[in-house]
């Protein structure tokens, strides 16, 4: 499902991330500064590797040997961050549909009804996002990313800003997303327990190098 081999020079920081996974969810674990966000940015097309390849479900998004480098907007990658990064002036419904409306109708594979039911956010649709709790914001952020019908969902510490009780509430929604939508995900976290809740496949990154991949 995922075949990553990328080299990047960030001045004194050298990244070489090489791992494959055939699991639906792949974990990426490592200490602060290991290069996890850089790997996500390379996959999303926000950074360009000096060399290597990024292949998702058989589709090359980047391949230096074949001179392939899809622009970010054509990669169909969904992003979920630690802070939900919702548009504060838009309602929950309009936040959810933001990326959906930018897709051509034939590209829309995941629809509002499915996401609302999956994430149990129907009662929030008319609300301003400024009134949402932290856990509700994360569910809306996840829903917005799903509604872009991504080929891969990148989750960058999506639960790190939540307290333990909220983490336990959100994790089952991630599990349901995995099992009901069958969407490949790359899940970055400092918390190995969180990763293991979702997958047995973990790549360990340290100082820009993959030190082990299971």
Beta bridge partners of 186: 26, 154
Binding residue (CB under 6 A) for ligand ATP from 2, 4, 17, 36: 36
Q: How many residues bind ligand ATP (CB under 6 A)?
A: 11
* Residue 121 and residue 139 in contact, taking contact as beta carbons nearer than 8 Å: yes
Beta bridge partners of 21: 2
Binding residue (CB under 6 A) for ligand ATP from 21, 26, 38, 149: 38
Region binding ligand ATP by CB under 6 A among candidate stretches 6-14, 101-109, 140-148, 163-171: 6-14
71 binds ligand ATP per the rule CB under 6 A: no
Binding residue (CB under 6 A) for ligand ATP from 37, 64, 109, 114: 37
Nearer to ligand ATP, 3 or 206 (CB): 206
Region binding ligand ATP by CB under 6 A among candidate stretches 29-37, 90-98, 101-109, 147-155: 29-37
Output DSSP code: residue 177.
I
Which residues have a Cβ under 8 Å from the Cβ of 183 and sit 6 or more positions away?
24, 146, 150, 152, 153, 177
* Helix, strand, coil percent content, the chain, rounded in steps of 5: 35, 30, 35
Q: In the complex, which residues of this chain contact ligand ATP (CB under 6 A)?
A: 10-11, 13, 30, 32-38
């Amino acid at each position: 499902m995922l075949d990553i081999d990328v080299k990047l020079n960030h001045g004194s920081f050298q990244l070489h991330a090489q791992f494959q996974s055939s699991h639906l969810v792949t974990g990426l674990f490592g200490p602060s500064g290991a290069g996890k966000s850089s790997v996500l940015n390379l996959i999303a097309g926000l950074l360009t590797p000096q060399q290597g390849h990024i292949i998702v479900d058989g589709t090359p998004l980047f391949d230096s040997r074949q001179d392939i480098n899809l622009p970010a907007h054509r990669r169909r990658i969904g992003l979920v961050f630690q802070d939900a990064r919702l548009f504060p002036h838009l309602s929950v419904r309009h936040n959810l549909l933001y990326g959906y409306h930018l897709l051509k109708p034939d590209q829309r594979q995941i629809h509002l009804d499915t996401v609302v039911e999956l994430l149990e956010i129907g009662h929030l649709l008319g609300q301003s996002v400024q009134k949402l709790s932290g856990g509700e914001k994360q569910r809306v952020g996840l829903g917005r990313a799903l509604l872009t019908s991504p080929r891969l969902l990148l989750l960058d510490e999506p639960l790190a800003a939540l307290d333990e009780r909220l983490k336990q509430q959100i994790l089952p929604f991630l599990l349901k997303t995995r099992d009901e939508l069958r969407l490949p995900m790359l899940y970055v976290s400092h918390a190995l327990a969180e990763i293991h809740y979702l997958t047995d496949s973990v790549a360990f990154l340290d100082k820009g190098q993959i030190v082990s991949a299971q």
